[in-house]
Structure 1
Amino acid sequence: MRNRKWMRAGMAALIAIPLALTGCGAQGGSNQAEGTASPSAGSSTVPSTVPNKNPIKLTMWGGVPPENGPQAVVDNWNKLNPDIQVEYVRFVNDDAGNLKLDTALISSQPVDMYMSYDFSLYEKRIKAGNVLDLSKFTDYKVDDKMGIGASLWKVDGKYYGVPTQKGLSFVWLNKDMLDAKGLKVPTDWSLDEFRDYANKLKGDKVWGAAQSDYYFNVPINGSMLKGSLLLTKPDGTSAFDSPLTVKALQVYSDMMFKDKSIMPHTEQITSKPALDQMFVKGETAMLFSTNQIFRTTNNVKDYPRTFKVAAAPAPKINKDQTDYLNAGGLGDVLSINPRTKNPEAAWKFIKWYSDSGMLPMAAGGRVPSSKDFPVDEAIALMFKGVENTYDIDSIKRVMFGSLPLGLSRLDKKTGMEQQVVYDKVFTQKLTPEEGAKELARVHNGNLQAAKK
């Protein structure tokens, strides 16, 4: 979002993981939400009363900067559990940072627990023997706690980590602009309706909508996820040559070149706008993004605004789609290193973190997966001091509701190569029909290569 290199890297990572955002941000490194941590933790946890002069020491690796929640999490745990002390180590969720983590896992460096933000990396770590099979623990039912979306992280029918947060992409709205036009906050809408809203909301020096290049594929991927996590047809070939893909590419092209309600792709590449800042300044009425912009919308000191922020789910390509899944799914998968000397202590921490302990992470917009998490406490922390600047009901409905979630397992190589195709479509070098065929051709090539 900050620059072209960032957007390309973020797009590739986010395609394969849940938006959130992940450890950099990402949807993946760059989409890591950064908020102000709170020392508050789940009130239901009872402090350990067993003194121990030689406590168990655990190390947890994660992609979020410690000051944005993780340090408060481990501080809370350490106060409550003097017999098990946890240290947080941050790695940047990019290629170099993940290589650092993978190297640590097979070396003598202390790694007892760690986060995975990308399914392909998570799966590689499992195959390399660097993740503990959690089926040995029977006192915590991940499916019951996290819901059906959690099962997408199973490998060979087993969990090797607990997906602790929801990471879906959605649309932020300037509710004051909607009210002025007599428009309701959408609860279920199509791309045609998204286009109509953008056209009605655009104005002098105000775009109807804004989004970085990753989000152009969110409705496309969400339309295919029900059929396959690999976005393939029943015969195993790419599903990207679908009429739904053509429709989505056409709608976005029309918004750029006919309606002029969304910034043209070439202009966005050239000017490299900070889209979150455009939104809080009132320069765009809608912003397709993730929970990452909480750090901007909550920062009313540096980015003062007078309007209320609302949220709507990502638009489907067609309104009548009944099999649409919201791309992103669950993420922030917390796993145990099989080489740890204290797997039971690590498991105790993971259960606590998932059900209540990750509360300080909510300040940055991280939405807990567990049904037993104190939702009202998380919401209060997310909007502390700025409650009156949000349409809380709409945000609760989207971020804490029951939207069907999906997790794409599209490989990074395909994602990067497909981005070139999107660039060509949105610079009018390819028609939407040609673009859909090219997206499928790229995908099919990599599917075939993977079989060799």
Structure 2
Amino acid sequence: MRNRKWMMAGFALFMTVPLALAGCGGSGGGKQAEGATSPGATKTSSEPIKLTLWGAVPSENGPQEVVDNWNKQNPDVQVEYVRFVNDDAGNLKLDTALISNQPVDMYVNYDFSLYEKRIKAGNALDLGIFSDYNVDDKMGEGAALWKVDDKYYGLPTQKGLSFVWLNKDMLDAKGLPVPMDWGLEEFRDYAAKLKSDKVWGLAQSDYYFTVPINGSLQKQSLQLTKDDGTSAFDNPLTVKTLQVYSDMMFTDKSLMPHTEQITSKPALDQMFVKGEAAMLFSTNQIFRTTNNIAEFPRSFKVAAAPAPKVNKDQTDYINAGGLGDVISINPSSKHQEAAWKFIQWYADEGMLPMAAGGRVPSSKDFPVDEAVALMFKGVEDTYDLDSIKRVMFGDLPLGLSRMDRKTGSEQQAIYDNVFSRKLTAEDGAKELARVHNKNLQASSK
């Protein structure tokens, strides 16, 4: 969140986050994968099976502890963590490794379009060959969004919610409750009431302008299209979202103008913990900052609210993010069954060290109380835990954007024009639809 380039990488992600591998929902059979090796079953020597797991989280933020825990418990199956950066260059590095037979047994997907691309390239194993894990039951309704051709090629392991962080002390001073359900108008009102000469009412990067729009449209279809197959972006909900954010920037002056943010590149998470912004639209990744009291001391409590709907009375709104951190198995792995055992363990209990960095496990069998305790260890008194648990561990309906990366990138230029007042909200909605339609037509040829 430190700069705009980083957030654009997050956009490919965020629309952030669905674990599906049902027993395995899509294709059945309990047969062992061709070339698979059961842990300890078919070894021909005393050497342990060696697996590699590629992921984008820095090893010191949990992954290394995860594999260390596994390796202690499973001396016959040893896992090595290999880090790649979740940007264009890092994903290219992973894809190159997959097609060049470099040691990649398992890898984590953070973006649906890249996940789908890897499946079509034959670089993700159909998990339907395993029958000992019901993904839909474990992960819930959102898991099915990761199916391709009704099959699971990866197991999503965490909830990747977008939500609003709040300075509860500032809320209390204004007599404002922590919102449990709200729309953009109330969101705007909160920001206006909380702003002051030295405090922005709201801080957010350009990615989050899309959250209310996509959350409103995804009920129409996963492709954000109308029944006739054309783009659904040119609708009143999109127009209202663009207008509200413009008004917050230029009328209320409660949100830093978009062009100023692009120019100054503020560290928004640090603005929030320093008390320079009363609210921050973000994800669970901010835990790395809010938990770091030593480097970023603060005296106020942090609370959480769900992402605002466009209209508060919307009943079919889906929260952006969904399930994510989808772990796939490379079909070229010689130890597919061992890899599958590791992934199950990781999802149901092994990813506990990742909780300290804010990653919320999605498996219903995960020890949630342990995750919460670790997530807030030593800083429990600096959070409004009731609101945090309600948002992060509640039952909010979650969605997954399947927007292709090309459309997302091209639409960003339109958001830039709207929030620099080169386009009206109405014209911006039409342009978002035009770009989407152009790419929909190109993909259908």
Confirm or deny a common fold (TM above 0.5): yes
Q: 1:421 to 1:259 in 2, by over 3 A?
A: same
Matched, 1:130 2:123: yes
Aligned to 2:278: 285
Alignment-mate amino acid for residue 242 of structure 1:
N
Shift of 1:106: 2.0
Letter in structure 2 aligned against 1:354:
A
1:164 is the counterpart of 2:163: no
1:140 aligns with 2:130: no
The answer on whether the counterparts of 1:16 and 1:411 sit within 8 Å (CA) in structure 2 is: no
Matched residue type, 1:367? V
| Aligned residue type for 1:289 | S
Query: Is 2:439 the partner of 1:446?
Result: yes
What pairs with 1:42-441 in structure 2 (closer than 5 Å)?
53-441=46-434
Q: Which amino acid aligns with 1:76?
A: N
SS of the residue 1:449 aligns to: helix
Structure 1: how far apart are the matches of 2:154 and 2:437? 30
What do you get for the CA RMSD once the two structures are aligned? 1.8
SS of 2:364's equivalent in the other structure is coil
Counterpart in the other structure of 2:24: none
- Which region of structure 1 is more displaced relative to structure 2, 393-402 or 95-104? 95-104
Distance 1:336 1:213, change over 3 A: same
Aligned equivalents of 2:281, 2:348: Cα separation in 1: 29
Structure 1 pair 357–249 and aligned structure 2 pair: CA distance change class (3 A): same
Matches of 1:428 and 1:119 in 2, distance apart?
32
Query: SS state of the match for residue 187, structure 1?
Result: coil
Amino acid at match of 1:208: G
What is the TM-score with the length of structure 1 in the denominator?
0.91
How big is each residue's C-alpha offset from its partner over 1:313-342, in whole Å with a ceiling of 9 and x where there is no partner?
000000110110001110000111111111
Q: Distance in 2 between matches of 1:2 and 1:85?
A: 35
Alignment gaps of 5+ in structure 2: 19-39
After alignment, is 156-165 or 103-112 more displaced? 103-112
2-structure distance, mates of 1:170, 1:67: 25
CA distance in 1, matches of 2:214, 2:120: 26
Map of 1:45 onto structure 2: none
Counting aligned pairs with the same residue, the percent is 81
Say if 1:226 and 1:324, in contact at 8 Å, map to a contact too: yes
Q: Which residue identity lines up with residue 423 of structure 2 in the other structure? A: L
- Give the Cα separation in 2 of the matches to 1:140 and 1:94: 31
Q: Distance in 2 between matches of 1:432 and 1:125?
A: 36
**Deviations 1:347-371 (Å, cap 9, x if unpaired)?**
1101100000000010100000100
SS in structure 1 at match of 2:251: helix
Question: 1:394-450 CA deviation, whole Å, 9 max, x = no partner?
Answer: 111111110000001111111111111111111111111111111111111111111
1:196-248 deviation digits (Å, cap 9, x = unpaired): 11111111211111100000110000000111111111111111101000011
Contact 1:229/1:409, CA 8 A, preserved across alignment: yes
CA distance in 2, matches of 1:241, 1:233: 10
d(CA) in 2 for partners of 1:3 and 1:330? 25
The C-alpha deviation readout for 1:139-179, integer Å capped at 9, x for no partner, is: 10000000000100001111111000000100000000001
State whether structure 2 residue 3 is matched by structure 1 residue 10: no
Contact 2:249/2:257, CA 8 A, preserved across alignment: yes
